[in-house]
Amino acid sequence: MKHLISPLDLSVSELEEVLNLGQEILKNKAKYSDICKGKKLATLFYEPSTRTRLSFEAAMLNLGGKVLGFSSADSSSASKGESVADTIRVISSYADICAMRHPKEGAPTVAAMHSKIPVINAGDGGHNHPTQTLTDLFTIKQLKGRLDNLVIGMCGDLKFGRTVHSLINAMVRYENVRFILVSPNELRIPDYLRQEVLVAGNINFIETNELEKYMPELDILYMTRVQRERFFNEEDYIRLKDSFILDAEKMKYAKEDMYVLHPLPRVNEIAAEVDNDPRAVYFKQAEFGVYVRMALIMTLLGLS
Ligand code: CP
């Protein structure tokens, strides 16, 4: 049995297989509409979500399976003090696979240690969000046709943004990927990522607070929200939340084939006027998330 806790739990070739299966499903949805008949997915969400939870549920329903779960800690027995370990022991006898989101880093790892079914990390604190990474890689591959030889800009909250951490970890495995990391000084990537992943891996990267200057170089711009829920201090959030706003004026500096991704939800870091630009692909990206999660569920259930 295999779990997906970090994007690195899949080797590059396993990841390639999941992405290829996602592409196959996208082309031929009907062929896969019954493949999970009789299987159940549990969604254990201790933290709010729209896309991840509902795209997991849509994915399982599209595969002919069923779904059960909870969407907040308050509506589960976590509110009475039940541990993640005890919860997963019980859920293991109710479902065949589960997706867990939790505010504490490492909670899905604890769940996996006590689980009889595959556990998928659907986001743990500021740590990892591997299925968002699968979605991001799927989107980049669909639109650019490759995952290597890319200049990737990442902009916004790079300190707490788990989608950024997961995506960097996944992308450094491909040849000639360069990162332009755009953030206020206070929201730069964590030191472990800078030292242990980028510096140690001899990866080409720069950290800057100048978005316009680097726009013409980018193949991908990955925008992120400054996350109010991760700040200890409301004043810091208010000071930093509008540090970078992508608007039509800034898009003029970008290449014709540069794509803007965002894991969503957005607040105001991308002006609504950008939505109509054909290079703004964040809603398409959210749609692709369903196909790649279908592929992942099939893979972890041994049905691929
Ligand atoms: N991208 C993402 O994780 O969105 P949700 O928080 O809505 O699941």
User: Which residues contact residue 8 at a Cβ distance below 8 angstroms, ignoring those fewer than 6 apart?
Assistant: 169, 170
Q: Ligand 1 in contact with 264 (CB < 6 A)?
A: yes
Q: How far apart are CA 192 and CA 28, in angstroms?
A: 42
Closest to 117 measured CA to CA, from 130, 98, 99: 98
CA of 286 to the centre of ligand 1 (A): 9
Say how far residue 152 (Cα) sits from the centre of its chain: 16
DSSP string, 99-167: EEEESSTTHHHHHHHT-SS-EEEEEETTTB-HHHHHHHHHHHHHHHS-SSSEEEEEES-TTT-HHHHHH
Ligand 1 atom nearest 48 alpha carbon: 6
Give 230-238 contacts, CB < 8 A, sequence gap 24+.
230/126, 230/157, 230/160, 236/186
Is any atom of ligand 1 closer than 6 Å to the C-beta of 289?
Answer: no
Helices then strands, each counted (H, E), the chain: 11, 9
Per the document, the length of the chain is 304
Closest atom of ligand 1 relative to the 55 alpha carbon: 8
pLDDT number for residue 238: 83
Residue 49 Cβ < 6 Å to ligand 1: yes
d(CA 287, CA 303) in angstroms, rounded, equals 22
Residue of 44, 52, 262 to test ligand 1 pocket, by largest number of atoms within 8 Å of CB? 52
Identity of residue 179: F
Are the C-beta atoms of 257 and 217 separated by less than 8 Å?
A: no
pLDDT value at residue 229: 73
Q: What is the pLDDT along the chain (304 residues), one digit of tens a residue?
A: 799 999 999 999 999 999 999 999 999 999 999 999 999 999 999 999 999 999 999 999 999 999 999 999 999 999 999 999 999 999 999 999 999 999 999 999 999 999 999 999 999 988 899 999 999 999 999 999 999 999 999 999 999 888 999 999 999 999 999 999 999 998 999 999 999 999 999 999 999 999 999 999 999 999 999 877 777 788 887 887 888 999 999 999 999 999 999 999 999 999 999 999 999 999 999 999 999 999 999 999 999 9
Does 263 sit in the ligand 1 pocket, CB within 6 Å? yes
**Ligand 1 in contact with 162 (CB < 6 A)?**
no
d(CA 63, CA 236): 44
Kindly report whether the global pTM for this prediction surpasses the value 0.85.
Answer: yes
For the annotated catalytic residues, the residue numbers are 51-52, 80, 101, 129
